[in-house]
A = this chain, B = another copy of it.
Amino acid sequence: MPGLDSVLSCLDLNLDRSVERLQELLRIPSISTDPAYAPDVRRAAEWLKGDLEAIGFSARVAETVGHPMVVAHHGGAGEGKPQVLFYGHYDVQPVDPIELWDADPFDPKVIAMPDGTKRITGRGSADDKGQLMTFVEACRAFIAETGSLPCRVTIFLEGEEESGSPSLLPFLKENAEELKADVALVCDTNMWDRETPAISTGLRGLVGEEITLTAASMDLHSGYFGGAAANPITILARILGAMHDADGRVTIPGFYDGVPELPADVRKVWDGLGFDDAAFLGAVDLSVPFGEKGRSVLEQTWARPTAEVNGIEGGYTGQGFKTVIASKAHAKVSFRLVFDQDPDAIRENFRQFVRERLPADVSVEFHAHGGSAAIQLPFDSPVLETARQALSDEWPKPAVMIGMGGSIPVVGQFKDTLGMPSLLIGFGHGDDRIHSPNEKYEMTSFAKGQRSWARVLEALGEKGAA
């Protein structure tokens, strides 16, 4: 029976054909935020259904109250093999400002660059049609060469990722049994650099709180009342100013519960990434990592929790001066969570922290915004090691396991709703200009991305996906 090598050869031989297929998909302007493009969004879904059926998947376009989902199944090598769920999205960002594009965003081209590389241009080339097709092409070659797939595979493609995914959670709940797998493969992220593939193993969680302090029942004149009346801005400043100690640690009781120190080997890998703190901060005219003392920028942003004031407002903020003591002061505060921090406990501890610092006559109202725990694959998880090895076999440099400071909602929903961990593997680059004019996807990303997925599928099939 033909093996991985013949699958990889098949991918190489058929690269031009795969580019043509991607371009066909890119020509469909599946902009999900603009109702005028709803028929195009549906057309992209139908195109994908057709293509997946053509290679042997049982596929359907599944209705939602918004744009449809594409769900396709392939039994692969059978019951004994791991079940994986591949996630991507087939909708794209709007193209405004259209005048900044060098060409029609929906007339994709292959462009040869002076350095000999090629790129595929057009809206969605990187985000996320190019990325999702790397997986589809890997499956196509596997089935063509071997008659099957090394794993049982569900492909789940969303059409609302660029418009807030309103239908995603209900759909996951309604179709939990159908979609549940050993692991989700999510292809919507970047490589570490052009030679080094990356697996994102951690995403920070998020807790948002709006807080409003009220002192007097009306704005007061600071001459008449100043010195005797509580000033809610001053009090809010005092409370928010007390959230960090001199070493940058958050002072809210229990805040670091569930936050382990980074394992030495992970720290060593991250230290070895050659991340340039100075360049990262210098790009926004900062020079010094500001947060917890003695930790690198990568650790601060990937593995440490934060407490940030995202907005503050109170009193007179217009031109000139008004000698007012405001009745109310308002702030939006958010917490990025890591590892096992409990969003509910963080929220409650923060509220308690505030309440304990309120003087007489000052009341507080809280308003909760979101609350999601961090995602963290165990650093020693076997599936992670399997994928890491498979990617390392493909690229010039070994794959690295990285964190992400932000959140990707679908990953949290897979975890919460389906109890399913995610492997975030993507082949994009920071300069792909996603969401911007002149979006592009590197030909290397597309070609070696396909080969990467073939290797990952083969390895998961052999070693399992747990």
Interface of A toward B, CB cutoff 8 Å: 204, 206, 208, 210, 215-218, 220-231, 233-234, 236-244, 277, 280-281, 284-292, 297, 300-301, 304-306, 308-317, 320-326, 329-332, 334, 336, 359-361, 369-370, 404-407
Contact = CB atoms under 8 A, between A and B. Distances in A.
Given A226-B306, A317-B332, A360 B216 contact: no
Contacts of A321: 208, 210, 310, 332, 334, 369-370
Contacts of A336: 222-223, 226-227
Contacts of A359: 288, 290
Contacts of A216: 284-286
Nearest to A405: B223
5 contacts: A222-B310, A223-B406, A228-B289, A228-B301, A238-B244
A369 to B, nearest CB: 4
A288 B306 CA distance: 35
Given A224-B406, A238-B241, A334-B222, A233 B301 contact: no
Which of A291, A369, A370 lies at the interface centre, i.e. has the most chain B CB atoms within 10 A of its CB? Answer: A291
Nearest to A291: B227
Given A284-B220, A286-B215, A334-B222, A311 B233 contact: yes
* Copies of chain A in the complex: 2
Contact of A233 (B215, B224, B309, B326): B309
B244 A234 contact: yes
A334 B369 CA distance: 34
Given A216-B286, A290-B361, A312-B315, A281 B223 contact: no
Contacts of A215: 286, 290
Contact of A301 (B204, B227, B292, B316): B227
Contacts of A292: 227
Contacts of A331: 233
A13 to B, nearest CB: 39
A317 B311 contact: yes
